[in-house]
Amino acid sequence: MAVIQSSVTADHLRNMEKFITAVTHLEDLNPRLSPLALVTSLCKIADQSDNITHDFLGSSDNRDEIHYKNNITEQLNINHYLSNFLNQAIHHFITDGHEERGVVLTPDGTTIALAPLLLGLEPGLRANEDSNQPDGFYLLPLAKNLGLSFLQFWNATPPERLGPDGCWDNVSAPMIFTLSGVPSLATDAQVQGGMDGAILGKHLSVVNCSDIKLSTLLRSYYSGTMEELDHVSDTHLRGRYRRHNFKKITNSFLLQEKVADALHSHPQQGDIGVESLIKKGIEEFVLRYMECPAIIPRCIWGAAPPRAPLTPLSPPLPYLYIHHTEIPSKPCLNLQMCSKKMRAMQHFHQKGRGWYDLGYSFAVGSDGYIYEGRGWMWVGAHTRGRNPVGYGVAFIGNYSTHLPSHYDMELVRHHLVKCGVSNGFLQENFTILGHRQVVATSCPGDSLYSVITTWEHYKDTNPLRTSAVTDMT
């Protein structure tokens, strides 16, 4: 991943649909081209066929490679405009101003680096033609990125082994993605692209690829709506279930093995330093990208800034309070709906109630994601008299007579709380309470409350019956 000085010259939107449209055009121009040949060509066009080497050693100006790329574009019958778009869309690097290039915004609010996605698809398609592949072959492209990032952390001074995430200049018309901190060699976008490449690569290695179109596969994976998945298992092949599906195809031991293989460093006696480096890195990876839930940041759902400085919390905290929003009463099923409801709630809290910000620490959509409110570090405005000692998590919708999906409840019950404890935000012996147990209210609704009484860490107390006076800011 070369960090270079660069000005913004992109003329194209950076969203997944735009890229899939380009892939569809390539397929139409080359109807006899196999998915493997197409993926390989895309990697070559963007100089990403050996991007791990380029990322670690720097980009190459080899004239033979440039000539080869030109030949590829001619063989694919594509014009300069499409070739330029693909090169800019796929070629991954980070500028000195921490702008991350070669990434796209997906319909569900996730930012994906295209190069590791394509590099993950390639071995899966090759394995479909030659089944004699080592265990975990689909993890190797991601493992290389992780290994190099771990080494960079060991040998240099980046603040983190992994990440960070970032923000788009405009979610509706994304052009520029700026990282929120100093980049590692495995940004969130690179990791998420690598995870998708592994998931889809593993899938492609075992299905009949003769009738598969790359554009159809990508559109199904990234653009499938919750309405379409209404009667489909939570484990369906969709980007929103990335973390769940990635856990099904790997484990920490296999990841450690593949990272060691990728670095050509098979830990033996005397390799204690590298073995420990990989183990710690994978532990961090597993927590960050497999155990913790994906959280849509404020900049993606379009949050307004707080009206005044917020008060910092002093974690770890002893309580987690469960709410439902009641109004909005209907669940939100995609990023657009959930973002609109988040903005409406924030506006009501700030303008209608005079609070500094959206009151909740986190909100849970019905789109498979948790949305950032005040987050882990700032005192919320969710539970009268209890805001400094607990986090408020609200399920978007009215759950008096029905329930959120099992998947959405599991995001909170297992993943969010585990993430909170592991990162030092929640005490290990924390208590879960329904809003009604500390404030006179029907929140979080009879149906949802009856379920949380069965959760680990729930504590049985008598719901309050007296009227409550709002003291939240």
Measure the CA–CA gap between 130 and 127, rounded to whole angstroms: 5
Based on the fold, state whether residues 139 and 178 are members of the same structural domain: yes
Token pair in block for residue 35: 């998915």
| Beta-carbon count within 10 A of 243 CB | 19
Token pair in block for residue 193: 């692209």
Q: Given this model, what pLDDT does residue 134 score?
A: 84
Based on the fold, state whether residues 92 and 148 are members of the same structural domain: yes
Confidence of residue 70 (pLDDT cuts 50, 70, 90): low
Count of the separate structural domains present in the chain: 2
Query: What pTM does this model have?
Result: 0.89
327 within a domain of the structure (yes/no): yes
| Contact status, residue 176 vs residue 164, Cβ threshold 8 Å | no
Based on the fold, state whether residues 188 and 263 are members of the same structural domain: yes
| Contact status, residue 104 vs residue 112, Cβ threshold 8 Å | yes
Confidence of residue 79 (pLDDT cuts 50, 70, 90): confident
**Mapping DSSP to helix (H, G, I), strand (E, B) and coil, where does residue 358 land?**
coil
Q: Is the pLDDT of residue 62 over 70?
A: no
Q: Given this model, what pLDDT does residue 183 score?
A: 94
Assign residue 333 the CATH number of its domain: 3.40.80.10
- Greatest mean pLDDT among 150-164, 192-206, 220-234 lies in 192-206
Confidence of residue 156 (pLDDT cuts 50, 70, 90): low
Candidates 1, 20, 6; CA nearest to 86 is: 20
User: Could you read off the pLDDT of 185-226 as tens digits, one per residue?
Assistant: 999 999 999 999 999 999 999 998 888 999 999 999 998 655
User: Could you read off the pLDDT of 333-370 as tens digits, one per residue?
Assistant: 999 999 999 999 999 999 999 999 999 999 999 999 99
Residues in contact with 311: Cβ distance below 8 Å, sequence separation at least 6, in sequence order: 378, 379, 388
Measure the CA–CA gap between 291 and 422, rounded to whole angstroms: 10
| Least reliable range by pLDDT among 128-132, 300-304, 365-369 | 128-132
Based on the fold, state whether residues 283 and 323 are members of the same structural domain: no
Q: Given this model, what pLDDT does residue 463 score?
A: 67
Based on the fold, state whether residues 164 and 91 are members of the same structural domain: yes
Measure the CA–CA gap between 196 and 43, rounded to whole angstroms: 16
Q: How far apart are the first and last CA of the chain?
A: 44
| Contact status, residue 111 vs residue 188, Cβ threshold 8 Å | yes
User: Could you read off the pLDDT of 9-42 as tens digits, one per residue?
Assistant: 445 789 999 999 999 999 999 999 999 999 999 9
Measure the CA–CA gap between 301 and 342, rounded to whole angstroms: 7
473 within a domain of the structure (yes/no): no
Q: What percent of the chain has pLDDT over 90?
A: 72
Candidates 166, 187, 168; CA nearest to 10 is: 168
**Mapping DSSP to helix (H, G, I), strand (E, B) and coil, where does residue 428 land?**
strand
Confidence of residue 372 (pLDDT cuts 50, 70, 90): very high
Based on the fold, state whether residues 242 and 113 are members of the same structural domain: yes
296 within a domain of the structure (yes/no): no
How do beta strands 166-168 and 177-179 pair?
antiparallel
303 within a domain of the structure (yes/no): no
Candidates 164, 16, 27, 25; CA nearest to 90 is: 16
Candidates 111, 113, 135; CA nearest to 123 is: 135
Based on the fold, state whether residues 265 and 376 are members of the same structural domain: no
**Mapping DSSP to helix (H, G, I), strand (E, B) and coil, where does residue 33 land?**
coil
164 within a domain of the structure (yes/no): yes
Based on the fold, state whether residues 255 and 388 are members of the same structural domain: no
Average pLDDT over residues 368-397: 97
Instruction: Look up tokens 């089944």; give the residue.
Output: 131
| Contact status, residue 305 vs residue 337, Cβ threshold 8 Å | no
Q: Which residues pair with 95 in a beta bridge?
A: 4
Q: Is the pLDDT of residue 180 over 70?
A: yes
Q: Given this model, what pLDDT does residue 56 score?
A: 33
Residues constituting the chain: 473
Supply the mean pLDDT for the chain: 87
Based on the fold, state whether residues 421 and 359 are members of the same structural domain: yes
Confidence of residue 135 (pLDDT cuts 50, 70, 90): confident
User: Could you read off the pLDDT of 425-473 as tens digits, one per residue?
Assistant: 999 999 999 999 999 999 999 999 999 999 999 999 876 643 443 434 5
Domain hosting 381: range is 317-467
